[in-house]
Structure 1
Amino acid sequence: MKLQRYAYMALALLLLVMAVPGGVFAADAATDTKIDAVLAADVSTSMNESDVNKVSYEAMKMFVDMASVQGDKIGVVAYTDQILREKALLKINNAGDKKDLKTFIDQLTRGPYTDVAVGLSEAVKVLESGAEQGHVPLIVLLTDGNNSLNPGKTQADSDKVLGEAVQKAKDKGIPVYTIGLNADGKLNKDKLESVSKETGGKLFVTSSAEDLPKILSEIYASHLKLKVVPLNGFTANGQFQDVKVTIPNGSVLEANISIMSGKPVEAKLLDPKGKEQNIPSDKIVYTSSNAYSLIKILNPAQGDWTLKIKGVPQEKIDINLVYNYDVQVVLDAQLPKTAKAGDSIAIKAHLESGGQKAADAGLYKNAKASLVVTDLDTKQASEAPLTLTDKGIEGSWKVADSHAYEVKVKVESANFTRESAPVSVSAKSGGASSSGEASGDKGVNWVKIGSWIAGLVVLLAAALFGLAFWKKANKGFFGQLVIEIKDEETGERTNPQYKKLSGFKGKVQLHQLLSLAPEFAETKGIVFKPGPNDTLLLFNESACTIEKGGRVFDAAKGKELKKNDRIRVTVPNIQKSVSLEYLK
């Protein structure tokens, strides 16, 4: 019955394709953009001097708090010259998920040595294993200086790993935002700048850990093409002091107000009508820590809000605002795929909000529109102004040379920057002009269309036969595994690590959950697969022994693990054991 249902779906898709001229699909523009972010933090002992108060931890927690109430995914990698702690990408569904992430960050410890390559390499792996389609990926890489390597490792070894990680991030479109905490003046700025430049990220350098919360908020805003709006900061006098917060239009999904102060503050909030709001409430999220307070207003009303803040006398208070917009730029009509030098092509576009053409004139007010054209042959980009009114965006583009181009429309205001999906246009020799292509479409090439449809039918048939196998291989997991490692010779245990399984599909090796550490290579043969009714199926093809309740069992043909089941894996060659507990 399932196969039959998929067949009907495929047939419906085929009919839809046949009904679309030229087989062109116009995908819905993504609205509320979600992120997949990994925070890779240097936790070497040198941070005890450069970040005495662990402000870097507070900065990471503020990044978590700035994330959307639902949908974003965030992971954490704590590194020295090895991975000390790691939290796989966690999808934020509620306040409890954010609390889990912040608790994990608070529990991070520090250790000797530093190797930036280890942190970046692991961050890329975390994104590879847990990224979600449609989400925008990024890595934030924080370090306080140069590498300080274990005597058993050379700088050449580190450089090789770093180069491979940078190339992989570049190939997968993962920008790396690097933060250099240059407290001792010895930061290798050039290497960090190279990492960011190669991957499309950005370098931030500061000599004070106190700047980290602000930097993390700038990275969050920059990555989502938002802008940080500085509000009027002040020196506290012990009384409530007013700050105006302007919500410019009705398309703001979230207004994130970050209040940075070294000491606790008290906050009140009045809406544009002067009515005091309950903090927190179903529309206002409030979080605070030792270094910041954050107020997130959901779907705020347009107008001037009043923020009242009471701080400790003489304490300096900085306030920033980041809007999260539901706005996209959409072309009104598909541009021609081919043209010729000298052609003039009309450009028309508009803003959308909530999947509909934006009717809010405030979105267009004081905004600027431009056409961004990249010559793919010369790699040169140019930008030309377009006319923007509350009715839309208009202009034209004259094709300069017989080259290949990428074209997009950009709209920039004081609060956001948005770009349309890029369109490729070829003006290479032999390509028809846009007008010629239109005139050549009078006759329909039914032979070509027929062969195209026949090919599509064959592909769909093959896809249907492979669908059942694909579904089995990509079945999702549920729950998480809590992992502790014990040194059987010394009795020492690591802190528990919580590994979310939702980022894996089909199967996952225990070695992957152990961050692919070379000493645990024997655990490659221990594999987990999704079982019925949200259980786990455990398969053991390794030399390791597995116990449950003190009894060794054979899992060569599979063993079911249920909620709260605990097992112990003994890795014989290194005199260590791994304890795992399955939680839902």
Structure 2
Amino acid sequence: MANRNTRSIYFPILMIWMAALLLLPPAGWAPKAQAAGQAQDPNIDAMLVLDVSNSMSTSDVNKIGNEAMKMFVDMLSPTGDKVGVIAYTDKIEREKALLEMNQPQDKEDLKSFIDDLNRGPYTDIAVGLNEAVKVLEQGTTSGHEPMIVLFADGNNYLNSKGSRTQEQSDKELNEAVETAKKIGAPIYTVGLNADGQLNASTLEDLSNRTGGKSFVTSSAEDLPRILSEIFASHQKLKVVPVDTITANGDYQDVVIDVPNSNVKEANISLMSSQPVDVRLKDPTGKEVTVPSSEVLLSRSKSYSLVKLLQPAEGKWTLQVKGVPKDKIDISLVFNYDLALILEDIPSKNLKPGDKVDIKAYLASNGTKLPSDELYPDMNAVLKVKDLDTGDTSEVKLDLKGDYFGGTFKVSDKHDYELVVRAEGDSFYRETAPVTVSGKAGAGGGSASIEEPAVPTWVWIAAGIALVLLAIAGMFILAAIKKANRGFVGQMVIEIRDDNTGEKTSPQYKKLTAFRGKFSLHQLLQLAPEMKETEGLIFTPGSEDRVVLHNSSPVVVEKSGRAVDASRGVELKSGDRLTIALTNVDKTITLEYLK
């Protein structure tokens, strides 16, 4: 007989199953959906991967890769995006897990981590790329778009005394690329070519196979263009040209034209060999403080980045002051809070000769834009892919007030994928693909079919189902609440080298950023040599305590005695644990402080 815990799990599932059966309509009847093919404007989950082998000392003399990574971090939205860093040689040298950027200090901490990366011997691209794919595969947030940006010269240099062969590296690289394709993570490659030894074909292949893009540079001057294009490509944006200026020692005006009120961010990058100073005026001529809550300013040794948040429509004036005769390259990328939505197609089972009415409109935060915003300056097409033959074609759509409209006519007994693309001067949007079939055996005419009235039994069943769902929802809500409970306090970590007896200084790790659970490996910043700590999982306990669950082979001691943490060990403030690792000669001491 099932125990109470088992019954508590199955009970809400049973009720949901019953409710689903009640709500199932009879064959041939289906409710009309509100909209299909909606493409959101999601946040980014990005892994930045950098070759830090000694060969890069000549391929990337000025550490352009480091500067590019920092510039990418600065271009991300102030909140919501996640980014991680992998520095590799023929092994993982340093690693930062996917961290959510929610405040300026988050970006500064990550850029400091990038500045501290050092060189090492040998190179194996597969090692770095495989680790990045694994992090994305395990840590990408639902609704976020994963991506990888690889900075390398494309060459491998394996240790001749090691056991790793080029064939093994090639196999691992191919598996990593296939996994990246599977999870929808395009690989953007930046080939660093200061010494002319770039292996461009390898990097191009990585990008082409995953839907990314490949770039080559030997100079920091190319960074604004490259990073802007990567950022724009992934966000379905366009790089807006801005004039290059030669500094004269005084403030020089650069006009930044914000085209409409739907711009979420304007990223203005200034690349120069010498420091620059900036001032800013809004479209009314009023001076705006830089930096401020409305304008963010980031600096590095080779660039400055000005980010306008929710800027007003109109012509802004950026005043730039640089060292006389210094060349200042300026690039601009707008980010929009917009989605393109394809209205639902009533019937997707068609036959040759049937016509499908196409309607697509722009929306911001779920609200349809009125006809006088953006539409007049855009063009739209319906992109049609014949899934049986692979042929593609386009149907021009007309502007019809507050939507783009047209007609698609089924020509053959094939399946078709439909995507609407609307394009303006500084951005474009595409709807999610919708598949229709022209293989129906009967019927004809237009696809705009009248739907039958909703039967009475549906309303009765819906009422009963809603009651069941509400009860089940209470159980599920409680489970979700438990899974998303936060933590309080901090964990103090000391690591002792068992061979020398030396201890690290205490590290204080705040736990408030975690929800539901986290691993000791995360607290240790995913240090590769301590990978076995992935099986040590912390969850929230009662009365602001934490509970450790151990599924790894390591030994956990509390108060000098080994404890069975497989079922959970609760820690209150002041409790200490000792964890002896098995793969390396190190012992970790943890103290929980509330």
TM-score (norm 2): 0.84
Which of 14, 18, 43 is matched with 1:34 structurally? 43
Question: 2-side partners of 1:86 and 1:564: how far apart?
Answer: 30
Residue number in structure 1 paired with 2:354: 343
SS in 2 for 1:438: coil
Residue number in structure 2 paired with 1:288: 299
Q: Is residue 2:88 matched to residue 1:45?
A: no
Residue range with higher mean Cα deviation, 260-269 or 200-209: 200-209
Question: 1-side partners of 2:74 and 2:276: how far apart?
Answer: 17
Query: Which residue identity lines up with residue 213 of structure 2 in the other structure?
Result: K
SS in 1 for 2:417: strand
Contact 1:249–1:360 under 8 Å retained in 2: no
Residue range with higher mean Cα deviation, 533-542 or 193-202: 533-542
Question: 2-side partners of 1:206 and 1:95: how far apart?
Answer: 29
1:126-275 alignment runs, 5 A limit: 126-150=135-159, 151-275=162-286
Query: Which residue identity lines up with residue 355 of structure 1 in the other structure?
Result: G
Question: 1-side partners of 2:252 and 2:133: how far apart?
Answer: 44
Contact 2:498–2:586 under 8 Å retained in 1: yes
Question: 2-side partners of 1:161 and 1:512: how far apart?
Answer: 28
1:320-335 alignment runs, 5 A limit: 320-335=331-346
Query: Which residue identity lines up with residue 136 of structure 1 in the other structure?
Result: E
Structure-2 change in CA distance of 1:81 and 1:95 (3 Å)? same
Contact 1:473–1:507 under 8 Å retained in 2: no
Question: 1-side partners of 2:420 and 2:308: how far apart?
Answer: 30
Residue number in structure 1 paired with 2:449: 438
Structure-2 change in CA distance of 1:532 and 1:213 (3 Å)? farther
Residue number in structure 2 paired with 1:418: 429
Question: 2-side partners of 1:475 and 1:380: how far apart?
Answer: 47
Query: Which residue identity lines up with residue 544 of structure 1 in the other structure?
Result: V
Residue number in structure 2 paired with 1:544: 554
Residue number in structure 2 paired with 1:377: 388
Residue number in structure 2 paired with 1:312: 323
Residue number in structure 1 paired with 2:5: none
1:346-361 alignment runs, 5 A limit: 346-359=357-370, 361=372
TM-score (norm 1): 0.85
Deviation at 1:311, TM superposition (A): 0.6
Query: Which residue identity lines up with residue 398 of structure 2 in the other structure?
Result: T
Residue number in structure 1 paired with 2:585: 575
Question: 2-side partners of 1:42 and 1:65: how far apart?
Answer: 21
Residue number in structure 1 paired with 2:117: 108
Contact 2:36–2:344 under 8 Å retained in 1: no
Which of 47, 68, 74 is matched with 2:77 structurally? 68
Query: Which residue identity lines up with residue 575 of structure 1 in the other structure?
Result: D
Query: Which residue identity lines up with residue 115 of structure 1 in the other structure?
Result: D
Question: 2-side partners of 1:362 and 1:510: how far apart?
Answer: 49
Which of 87, 98, 103 is matched with 2:96 structurally? 87
CA offsets, 1:252-284, max 9 Å, x none? 111111111121100011111111111111211
Question: 2-side partners of 1:69 and 1:457: how far apart?
Answer: 40
Q: Which has the higher contact order (CA 8 A, sep 6+)?
A: 2
Question: 2-side partners of 1:94 and 1:129: how far apart?
Answer: 24
Query: Which residue identity lines up with residue 130 of structure 1 in the other structure?
Result: G
Contact 1:409–1:420 under 8 Å retained in 2: yes
Question: 2-side partners of 1:172 and 1:157: how far apart?
Answer: 23
Structure-2 change in CA distance of 1:269 and 1:516 (3 Å)? closer
Residue number in structure 1 paired with 2:66: 57
Contact 1:335–1:423 under 8 Å retained in 2: no
Question: 2-side partners of 1:343 and 1:453: how far apart?
Answer: 34
User: Which sections of structure 1, spanning at least 5 residues, go unmatched?
Assistant: none
CA offsets, 1:234-262, max 9 Å, x none? 11111111111101111111111111112
Deviation at 1:303, TM superposition (A): 1.1
Structure-2 change in CA distance of 1:264 and 1:512 (3 Å)? closer
Question: 1-side partners of 2:188 and 2:503: how far apart?
Answer: 33
Deviation at 1:71, TM superposition (A): 1.1
Contact 2:493–2:588 under 8 Å retained in 1: yes
Deviation at 1:516, TM superposition (A): 9.1
Contact 2:369–2:402 under 8 Å retained in 1: no
Contact 1:237–1:312 under 8 Å retained in 2: yes
SS in 1 for 2:202: helix
Contact 1:405–1:425 under 8 Å retained in 2: yes
Question: 2-side partners of 1:566 and 1:241: how far apart?
Answer: 61
Contact 2:245–2:327 under 8 Å retained in 1: yes
Amino-acid identity (%): 49
Question: 2-side partners of 1:262 and 1:509: how far apart?
Answer: 43
Contact 1:270–1:306 under 8 Å retained in 2: yes
Deviation at 1:203, TM superposition (A): 1.4
Deviation at 1:91, TM superposition (A): 1.3
Contact 1:29–1:355 under 8 Å retained in 2: no
Deviation at 1:26, TM superposition (A): 3.9
Question: 2-side partners of 1:355 and 1:293: how far apart?
Answer: 34
Structure-2 change in CA distance of 1:65 and 1:512 (3 Å)? closer
Question: 2-side partners of 1:85 and 1:300: how far apart?
Answer: 38
Question: 2-side partners of 1:452 and 1:376: how far apart?
Answer: 39
SS in 2 for 1:145: coil
Contact 1:540–1:558 under 8 Å retained in 2: yes
Structure-2 change in CA distance of 1:328 and 1:521 (3 Å)? closer
CA RMSD of the aligned region, Å?
4.2
Deviation at 1:89, TM superposition (A): 1.3
Question: 2-side partners of 1:521 and 1:91: how far apart?
Answer: 22
Residue range with higher mean Cα deviation, 421-430 or 470-479: 470-479
Deviation at 1:392, TM superposition (A): 2.5
Query: Which residue identity lines up with residue 234 of structure 1 in the other structure?
Result: I
Q: Is residue 2:281 matched to residue 1:301?
A: no
Contact 2:487–2:514 under 8 Å retained in 1: no
Contact 1:507–1:527 under 8 Å retained in 2: yes
Deviation at 1:145, TM superposition (A): 3.1
Deviation at 1:6, TM superposition (A): 11
Question: 2-side partners of 1:317 and 1:241: how far apart?
Answer: 11
Deviation at 1:168, TM superposition (A): 1.2
Question: 1-side partners of 2:584 and 2:12: how far apart?
Answer: 51
SS in 1 for 2:233: helix
Structure-2 change in CA distance of 1:91 and 1:542 (3 Å)? closer
SS in 2 for 1:219: helix
Which of 364, 368, 375 is matched with 1:364 structurally? 375
User: Which sections of structure 2, spanning at least 5 residues, go unmatched?
Assistant: 1-7
